[in-house]
Amino acid sequence: MKAFSYIRFSSDKQAYGDSTRRQSELAQKYCQQNGLILDTSVTWHDLGVSAFKGGNAEFGALAAFLKACDAGLIPSKSYLLVESLDRITRARWQKALSIFMDILSRNITLVTLHDNRKYDSNSDYMDIVYALIVLQRSWEESETKSRRSNAAHAQKRKMAVENKTPMTLVCPAWLEYKEGKYQLKIDDAETVKLIYELYA
């Protein structure tokens, strides 16, 4: 029986951490313990892709995996291994459940490696209810983070207007914040202009 590992993380910063290695090792270990062949001929990775709005299931590697199932490139009854359900989606429960069921409806067994739970087209309704609770909790976590981030951004914008200061000192390399305003770095700006002129 074949198994495929789906790896996803949201932030580019996580690429420098342990996320990919950890998820890969969990998949390898599960296959060894359960007599599965881990197919690595194609990598199903959405690295630095958020699943909060379900984009990975619409145009990412997860979407490509589902299309490969429809095209008969993924054998029926194969396993899809994920660290946890929030790797698949962090969308609100209606959309999350749709993505979850899209996988099962293709006769794929979905395994969450952190708790060794299996979901397939024969799962009983209590398994689906449990999955739905986990999926909704993942959305709530992301929603809370998003709301806090937006509030912090709004506060920075408000302070910038009130104090007549920039929201951030980070700017393009040919600019610098000096004497209360952004100013051109003449040499660097000339280089950028030259690049455009040469390209044109």
CB 42 within 8 A of CB 64: no
| Cβ partners under 8 Å of residue 164, min gap 6 | 180
* Residue 10 is a catalytic residue: yes
Please report, to the nearest 10 degrees, the dihedral formed by the alpha carbons of residues 67, 13, 26, 125 taken in order. -60
Tokens for 106? Answer: 């293709």
113 three-state secondary structure: coil
Is residue 183 within 8 Å of 174, Cβ to Cβ?
Answer: no
- Is the torsion defined by CA of 168, 169, 175, 180 positive or negative? positive
Number of helices and strands (H, E) in the chain?
7, 8
C-alpha 185/C-alpha 174 separation (Å) is 5
Q: Where are the strands (E) in the chain, listed by range?
A: 2-9, 37-38, 44-47, 79-82, 109-112, 117-119, 175-178, 181-184
Q: Are 119 and 104 in contact (CB under 8 A)?
A: yes
* Residue in 10, 19, 24, 78 annotated catalytic: 10
**Active-site annotation, residues:** 10
